[in-house]
Amino acid sequence: MIEKKITTTFYQTDYNSLSSLEKNLIDLSNQSLNEAYAPYSGFMVGAVVLLENGEIISGNNQENVAYPSGLCAERVAIYYAGAKFPNVKVSSIAISAKSKKFEIKDVISPCGACRQAIAEYEVKQEENIRILLHQSDNSILIVESVSDLLPFMFKSKGLQNF
């Protein structure tokens, strides 16, 4: 047996150190979370996708009484971007969250399904997608690729041959 390790690189900064564009993305993700439909969990997430053409697409989580039928903010935003602008690359995604029921003290990052959805777009466009995670203390965690969050992402060019 051989032990191998995977390391992840991320950057931590604060809101005031961001560029004006990045601040705008965080502000828009905060605005978007306030429009989330989260009557069951009270956990609201906003995501904003910046496309290479400058378009900004926002999304928020949409819950349903049949829990598996809901959709996370990240997938709402990236799927809408893919539907509206199918041939335009995604540059970055900014994500913010808040809860009506508890104080968030942990790092909030995309769930596994959202990580895989973002990974699909990275594979499709053959370019990384920068992810900005806005924390409740106004700190920002930045990863340069979803592979930093999902090192064993499910991908295979061979699957496209079916």
Given the residues 52, 74, 103, 122, select the one marked as catalytic.
74
Q: Which of 94, 88, 89, 55 is nearest to 73 (CA)?
A: 94
- Kindly state the tokens that stand for 82: 């893919």
Q: Which residues of 70-83 are buried (b: 16+ CB within 10 A; e: fewer)?
A: bbbbbbbbbbebbe
In this structure, what are the phi and psi dihedrals at residue 146, rounded to the nearest 5 degrees?
A: -65, -20
* Gap between the Cα atoms of 140 and 108, Å rounded: 10
Distance CA 29, CA 159 (A): 34
DSSP state of 76: H
Instruction: Name the nearest CA neighbour of 44 among 14, 72, 15.
Output: 72
74 tagged catalytic? yes
Q: Which residues are catalytic?
A: 74
